A and B are shown apart, each in its own frame.
Chain A
Amino acid sequence: MKTETSSIPASKLTVPAAGRDHIQGPIDAPMTLLEYGDYECPFCGAAYPIVKAVQQSLGDDLCFAFRNFPLTNMHPHAEHAAEAAEAAGAQARFWEMHDTLYENQTALDDKDLARYAAELGLDVPRLMSEVETGNHRGRIREDFMAGVRSGVNGTPTFFVNGVRHDAGYDYDVLIAALLETAPKHA
């Protein structure tokens, strides 16, 4: 039996998938960075400003995508936080919520999520009802299992130009890996 069909094509498991993933930067950028992350994970929190700096430095040469990898038994708020970001995405404000969550990792209970939604000018009752009913749970699980199948073993896990990045995620290390493995122009 093949398990549930995924909307991520097999060829796009380790690179951003157009029309499906939350991305920043052009989808056809020469370099790609894909992160599997958990909003309550302190290591992901530490990586957050580094990714921002990498994006700033590479500009339109980089396409960055984020997929959910919540470790819900370890992190009691991770699932609802991921659902809030996806629900914000349904109102076209995914990245604003993503950033807010990483900038406020110690305040992620449902009241905090509602407050962030209000601060971002979102439709709060809609967002919170989507979080409570788990509207986006299927997508989050799909992200998670895509990660598992491509070898994600903890958070954060980065894929640099389609290849799992096992070295650290210091700024210099990430930049060097991205540039070294960037596909050469013809």
Chain B
Amino acid sequence: MTNETKYNQMYPRSGRSAALSPGTTAPDFTLQSTPDQTVSLSDFRGQPIVLVFYPADWSPVCGDQVTLYNEILPEFQSLGAELVGISVDGAWCHAAFSRDRKLHFPLLADFEPKGEVARLYGVYRQGDGVSERALFVVDAEGNIHWSHVSPIGVNPGAAGILAALEDLQEKKQQNQGEQKKGEKQEKEEAVK
């Protein structure tokens, strides 16, 4: 039986959700990252962040998905971005999962009230009690730049995330270029 079939049997009760779309302000949240630490979305203001919603720790596809992102983390960081995982599992469960998979990015516990952040982003599977397998790239100003909801049993990989982050970086460089041009013109006009 493929993973996709397994997932469809395990989480049969919810249709596809309507995820927040690009251009929307990313709702702020504060969640536990360890039993004694919290992380807020606003902590990342000023740099892009990738939000990785996934159904559950330990389940097979998530394992592959977080393992993959763990390997690609240096590329995400070289594009100026950070990455966090979010599921309805509790902080102690995340701690054990993260240690087992040697993860170098935080897993946030959307645990109480259960799935509240997933609901805010429109990716909670009400009947199944878990979040969709959904990706959001939030830009430095806190707006959603790109989002993707994958079928629950399908690992979406990282090509879409990388393309979105590169797009953000290109825009930033263009803006900087225009800013410099603007400053240069101002200076020239001042000299005249």
For window 49-86 of A, CB contacts with B under 8 Å fall at: 71-74
Beta-carbon contact of B162 and A148 below 8 Å: yes
Beta-carbon contact of A152 and B67 below 8 Å: no
In the assembly, what is the distance between CA of A71 and CA of B67, in Å? 7
Beta-carbon contact of B78 and A153 below 8 Å: no
Known contacts A73-B71, A153-B65; is-contact A148 B102 (Cβ 8 Å): no
Main secondary structure of the interface of B (DSSP, over half): helix
Beta-carbon contact of B2 and A148 below 8 Å: no
A89 at the interface (CB under 8 A from B): no
Count of B interface residues, CB-CB < 8 Å? 25
Beta-carbon contact of B75 and A74 below 8 Å: no
In the assembly, what is the distance between CA of A145 and CA of B157, in Å? 12
User: Taking CB as reference atom, which chain B residue is nearest A1?
Assistant: B169
Q: How large is the interface on A (under 10, 10 to 19, 20 to 34, 35 or more residues)?
A: 10 to 19
Report the tally of A-B residue pairs with Cβ distances under 8 A: 50
A125 at the interface (CB under 8 A from B): no
Beta-carbon contact of B71 and A72 below 8 Å: yes
Beta-carbon contact of A152 and B70 below 8 Å: no
Contacts of A185 in B (CB 8 A): none
Contacts of A153 in B (CB 8 A): 64-65, 68, 155-158
- With beta carbons under 8 angstroms apart, the residue of A3, A71, A151, A168 that contacts B166 is A3
For window 114-173 of B, CB contacts with A under 8 Å fall at: 155-159, 162, 166, 169-170, 173
User: Taking CB as reference atom, which chain B residue is nearest A2?
Assistant: B166
Q: Which residues of B contact A (CB under 8 A)?
A: 2, 64-65, 67-68, 70-72, 75, 78-79, 101-104, 155-159, 162, 166, 169-170, 173
Q: List 9 A-B contacts (CB under 8 A).
A: A2-B166, A3-B78, A71-B67, A71-B71, A73-B67, A148-B158, A149-B162, A153-B158, A154-B68
**A-B complex: 5 closest residue pairs judged by Cβ atoms:** A153-B157, A153-B155, A154-B64, A73-B102, A151-B157
